[in-house]
Structure 1
Amino acid sequence: MSNQQLKIGILNLMHDKKDTQNRYHKIFSSINQNITLQFFYPKMHYLNRPVPKRVAKISNPLDLKQIKNFDGFIITGAPIEQLDFNDITYIDEFQHLIQELEKNHIQQLFFCWGAMAALNYCYGIHKTMLNEKIFGIYPHHILHHSDLLQGIDSGFLAPHARYAEMNHEEILQDSRLQIDAITNTGDLFSISSIKSPEQDFIFSHLEYDKEALANEYHREIAAHPEKAFKKPENYSLSNPVFNWKKTQRQFFTNWIKKVDEAKKLKLTLAS
């Protein structure tokens, strides 16, 4: 990997925005000191209400005019997979962002709900609700060793936390897409785009640290104490183990390498 400066934009849609930012800072600073992160929130989400101070303090309103200045862009998950895409206040802004990213051939990494919404918008893949939440740490089968799975062995562990899945048959029938890895129960881990190689869709919360699943579980209980929530599988709430840390580091190292190589190619073509 070269020592050139890389600029990564992140649209942070997670509930725990500050913790999410801290996780990404920790991951990328451990990989390469020449990475600058800039966090955004969707303006349309706060169209008729003030932006919370805690959000405004740590991130900026999404500015599509800035997108061309980034080398890579991440769109996080969001705790809204049970809603219809058309019911999301910022779905138009989300789609306009993807248009800008594609127009400027910027490397794109979509996580969880972000991956669902992007697959639906770009490829027409439909979302299906699950009978119960996929929640916990699962082993995975690698079907294709994509760029992002280099150096990662089949059987790797990673966390999942979602109430929905994308339609597998539609994905398999679409020659523009390739399923790269699935859980041992057959749920999606990652999809890459053959049509647009700069797009990668991840259904795991691979950015999570060891406490994140426990925090999510307790947050859901606090929000709806009247409901019974599934505890995360293969994971101890009282004594969590960060057994996907090595995979997390290798995966994000692979993505930064992909971003770095794409930038070098752009500079070569421009010279």
Structure 2
Amino acid sequence: MPLRLPDRLPAIDILKRENIFVMDNSRAHSQDIRPLRIVILNLMPLKITTETDLIRLLSNTPLQLDINFMKLKSHTPKNTPIEHMMMFYRDFESMRHEKFDGMIITGAPVETMDYEQVTYWDEIVDIFNWARTHVTSTLYICWAAQAGLYHYYGVPKYPLEKKMFGIFEQHPLQPQMPIFRGFDDTFMMPHSRHTEIHKEDILAHPELELIAESEESGVSIVMARGGREFFITGHLEYSPNTLDNEYKRDFGVRSDVELPRNYYRNDDPSQPPLVTWRAHANLFYSNWINYYVYQETPFDINKIE
């Protein structure tokens, strides 16, 4: 798909080498098409990596997307050059009066903290509330999914005895839904988290629909407001080497590091990962863009409410 990206964004060159079609703003302006406006609130430490992972998945549709990056005013990232943030990101406050067809809010490395202890919690709550009236459909990923469920519905999170780390089989509970169109009876999803949400807490809220779960990793995907909100506890966006990088970064440094499950060939970290989730990841994001953003958003973006 033709993705409209800021000129000189590092992801452009990376994805072109993978034969993924992207275009910068200079070329996109020559096309007389109303693109879908997508905003990404990137809370992950390695922002360039996360940008590339998400853009890779968003590229698998014929629709034109105008990608925007949002940052928090109340938090300064330590692992991304300030020049990159200044060039490609805008504070939420400067975007408050804009509307977007779709939004993605990533995970964040703060899951072991109480929500209210997170230094930028007040701003996150402000953004969550804003998204409900300024975005057609929003994907909440990992910590953002837990935080969104807590803020909107009071769903608590629970600490795990050991990290949920690896690739786990998931089961669509409502396979007839458009978000699962083209899916098999099972699909795989990467997880990397120290906390979880419980199924009974989701089922206690009639406004929430549990639409995918796993015998190993538990609650997988929750939908609300007819698809205007999806809460995903794992990381379909992860590239093949993400868990490998995380494991080798933490092994020998942290006491709770175990081999990621169902990931390395023959459970041997000297061998490459066995990639089992990418096809469904691409399909999930394409279905979201098609059925829950493109087909639901008004042509006049200002009519989103």
Structures share fold, TM-score greater than 0.5: yes
Flag the 1:174–1:64 CA change in 2: closer, same or farther, 3 A.
Answer: farther
2:297 to 250, 263, 269: 263
Normalising by structure 2, what TM-score?
Answer: 0.79
> For the residues of structure 1 that align with 2:89 and 2:240, how far apart are their CA atoms?
24
Retained in 1: the 8 A contact 2:96–2:130? no
1:133-188 deviation per Cα after TM superposition (whole angstroms, max 9, x unaligned): 11111111121233322221222111111111113222111111111111132511
Question: Residue 197 of structure 1 corresponds to which residue in structure 2?
Answer: 227
Identity of matched residues, %: 30
Question: Residue 15 of structure 1 corresponds to which residue in structure 2?
Answer: 45
Question: Residue 252 of structure 1 corresponds to which residue in structure 2?
Answer: 285
Q: Structure 2 stretches of 5 or more lacking a match?
A: 2-32
Q: Secondary structure at the match of 2:260?
A: coil
Aligned pairs for 1:2-151 (under 5 A) are: 4-32=34-62, 34-46=64-76, 52-63=82-93, 65-66=95-96, 68-145=98-175, 146-151=177-182
- C-alpha displacement of 1:29: 2.2
Retained in 2: the 8 A contact 1:108–1:199? yes
Flag the 1:184–1:261 CA change in 2: closer, same or farther, 3 A.
Answer: same
> For the residues of structure 2 that align with 1:213 and 1:172, how far apart are their CA atoms?
31
Q: Secondary structure at the match of 2:69?
A: strand
> For the residues of structure 2 that align with 1:149 and 1:23, how far apart are their CA atoms?
21
Q: Structure 1 stretches of 5 or more lacking a match?
A: none
Retained in 2: the 8 A contact 1:67–1:101? no
Flag the 1:148–1:175 CA change in 2: closer, same or farther, 3 A.
Answer: same
Normalising by structure 1, what TM-score?
Answer: 0.88
Q: Secondary structure at the match of 2:205?
A: coil
Question: Residue 154 of structure 1 corresponds to which residue in structure 2?
Answer: 185
Q: Secondary structure at the match of 1:130?
A: strand
Counterpart residue identity of residue 280, structure 2:
T
Question: Residue 13 of structure 2 corresponds to which residue in structure 1?
Answer: none
1:102-156 deviation per Cα after TM superposition (whole angstroms, max 9, x unaligned): 1235211100000000000000000101111111111111212333222212221
> For the residues of structure 1 that align with 2:259 and 2:97, how far apart are their CA atoms?
39
> For the residues of structure 1 that align with 2:35 and 2:254, how far apart are their CA atoms?
49
- The number of residues matched between the two structures is 264
Cα root mean square deviation, aligned: 2.6
Residue 178 in structure 1 maps to residue 209 in structure 2: yes
> For the residues of structure 2 that align with 1:264 and 1:54, how far apart are their CA atoms?
32
